[in-house]
């Protein structure tokens, strides 16, 4: 009987859906509405890198706002980063000294001072079923 119970538990364990959240990111103050706004939801290890696991994009509207919704994010602590990909080349363009030529923004409106903000300044806690955050695009 114990073997049957264990077998049933193992079989049904694989049928339980994993917890997931949906995050909507509203970005304001997009100066150039050409191209798209790209958003990435990053864990500490991948913050400010292109390898963030959860990404999405959307065009900005005429009012300089964009809304990006990303689905199926496991609950946890993340930092959200965005940039205005005005030429739609799927990368953040920089000048010869490395300063961004396109707008950037981070969750909690974490400010950039001679580089990106710290992960802790931009960190948000995401729980099921998810939620909405808002932050502004910053330009240099």
The overall average pLDDT reported for the chain is 88
| Number of other CB atoms surrounding residue 123 within 10 Å | 20
Structure tokens belonging to residue 47: 């913050």
5: pLDDT strictly greater than 50: no
**pLDDT tens-place string over residues 84-139:** 999 999 999 999 998 899 999 999 999 998 889 999 999 999 999 999 999 999 99
Distance of CA 29 to the CA centre of its chain: 17
Q: Smallest Cα–Cα separation from 101: which of 88, 120, 115, 83?
A: 83
Tokens 């981070």 appear where?
Answer: 106
Cα angle 111, 87, 70; round to 5: 60
C-alpha to C-alpha distance for 84 and 59, rounded to whole angstroms: 9
SS3 42: strand
Q: Please report which confidence band the pLDDT of residue 33 belongs to, taking 50, 70 and 90 as the band edges.
A: confident
């Amino acid at each position: 009987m114990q073997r049957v119970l264990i077998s049933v538990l193992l079989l049904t364990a694989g049928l339980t859906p994993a917890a997931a959240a949906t995050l909507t990111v509203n970005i304001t103050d997009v100066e150039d509405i050409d191209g798209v706004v790209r958003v990435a939801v990053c864990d500490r290890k991948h913050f400010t890198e292109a390898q963030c696991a959860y990404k999405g994009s959307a065009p900005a509207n005429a009012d300089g706002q964009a809304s990006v919704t990303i689905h199926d994010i496991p609950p946890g602590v993340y930092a959200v980063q965005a940039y205005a990909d005005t030429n739609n080349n799927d990368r953040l363009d920089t000048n010869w000294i490395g300063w961004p030529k396109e707008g950037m923004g981070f969750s909690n409106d974490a400010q950039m001072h001679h580089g990106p903000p710290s992960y802790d300044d931009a960190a948000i806690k995401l729980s099921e079923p998810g939620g909405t955050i808002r932050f502004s695009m910053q330009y240099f």
